[in-house]
Structure formats: C-alpha cells, structure tokens
Amino acid sequence: MITFTELYDKIYPNNIPLDSGRFVQMVESSKTDVLALVDNIEHEDRSKVKRFVADYAINLASKEYTKNSLIFLNKAVDLFQNDEAFKGNDLLNDPMYESLILNRAKTNYVLDNFRRARIDFKLLRNKFGSNVLYQQGYDACMDKILTIFQWITLSVLVISISSILLLELEAGMKSLMISVLVLSLILSAALNFVQRKKRKEQNKG
C-alpha cells in the first residue's frame, strides 16, 4: 500500500499541487483509504496532512463530487480546529479555512442540508460583512428553510381540514383539530410575511 509521503510527493511535485483534475485522479488511482491513511500520520507530518486533506476536499467540491467532498471538508475543518498552532486564534483569518467553510456551506446547500449550510454562511457573513456572496448564501438558505416550513404548515392545514370535514370526530377531537387549523393558519401567514419581507430586503440590496 502506498504511504502518505509517497502519495504527497506525487501530488505536490516540487511542493506545487497538481491541477484539480489530476489531483483527484491521482488520489483515486492510488486506491487508498485516504481517511485511514491520514489518521495514522506521525506528528511531524500533520501540516502536510492538513494541506493535503483541505486541497483534496476543495478539489472534490470543484468537481461536484458532493457527498465525498463533504466527508473530506468536515475532516479538513476538524484538522484546523484541533491544530494546537491555531488555538486561541480566529480560524477564519486563514484563507484556506475560509475556503473550506465556504465550500462546505455550498456543498451542504446542494445536498439540501439547508440548516447546516446556513450555519456556515452565517459564520462567513458575520466575519466578512462586506462580502455579498456570503450574505446571498445565507439569504438563500433562509428562503429554503422558510419554504419547507410553509409546505409543512400547508400539509397540516390540509390534514386538519380533511379531518374536520370528512371524519366523524368526537367533540373534543374536533375542537383540537380546529385549534390546530387556526394555529396553522397563523403560522402560515407569519411565515409568508417573513419570506416576503426578506425578499423585499434582498431586492433593495
């Protein structure tokens, strides 16, 4: 089995990384369990491991290997967060870490993990307030989340109305369903208001 040092030297000839396509191809052709490989590296090689995993994760994301890229994006983020050299520092000051968080946010969005994507976009938005891309990413996540809640509320409305009209419910159960119906209507109106307000703010921006 190929060692990490051998793989690293092939991917970083003269300490310069291969282009994204050849990078991914080289790793895949090695037929190596990359996660197992990097978890067993000696301490003195940790900086190379961090660089390799981060580059591999971002290259996978650029090639739209979304599920695989998310695994390695999370791994790379963990390596940064557990690096003693960064203890007490704002990791987002490191361009590579910023790129990892952005790629993880975009990948989670593509995979419909909107809440997780929102968390990362919020981190970036709060740190880099002037970056329009990060604000747009956050707004897109919120829009998706609100839309999902609206569909859930609509489903509850349909079930409640159907139950009241079609089923022979006892008085107590009918009162409960009416209460659920009223609450669903209020929630639906509130969500619709919030969504319209956010879209107006986005259009003004």
Residue recorded with tokens 């967060």 = 81
The answer to whether residue 151 is domain-embedded is no
pLDDT above 70 as % of the chain:
72
Other CB atoms within 10 A of residue 21 CB:
11
Highest mean pLDDT among 41-55, 120-134, 175-189: 120-134
The answer to whether residue 78 is domain-embedded is yes
Is residue 142 pLDDT above 60, yes or no? Answer: yes
Q: How many domains is the chain partitioned into structurally?
A: 1
> Would you say 91 and 124 are in contact if contact means Cβ atoms under 8 Å apart?
no
The answer to whether residue 19 is domain-embedded is yes
The answer to whether residue 178 is domain-embedded is no
The answer to whether residue 141 is domain-embedded is no
- Burial letters 139-158, b for 16+ CB under 10 A, else e: bbbbebbbeebbeebeebbe
Instruction: Give the tens place of pLDDT for each residue, 72-113.
Output: 999 999 999 998 888 888 999 999 999 999 999 999 999 999
The token pair that represents 137 in the structure block: 């990413």
The answer to whether residue 88 is domain-embedded is yes
What range does the domain containing 84 cover?
1-111
pLDDT confidence bin for 172, thresholds 50/70/90 = low
The answer to whether residue 45 is domain-embedded is yes
3-state SS assignment for residue 113: coil
Say what the pTM is.
0.76
Instruction: Give the tens place of pLDDT for each residue, 20-44.
Output: 999 999 999 988 888 888 888 766 5
Output the pLDDT for position 148. Answer: 77
pLDDT above 90 as % of the chain:
47
Q: Amino acid identity of 32?
A: T
Phi-psi region of 165 (alpha: psi -120 to 50; beta: other; left: phi over 0): alpha
Output the pLDDT for position 138. Answer: 94
The answer to whether residue 30 is domain-embedded is yes
Distance CA 200, CA 187 (A): 20
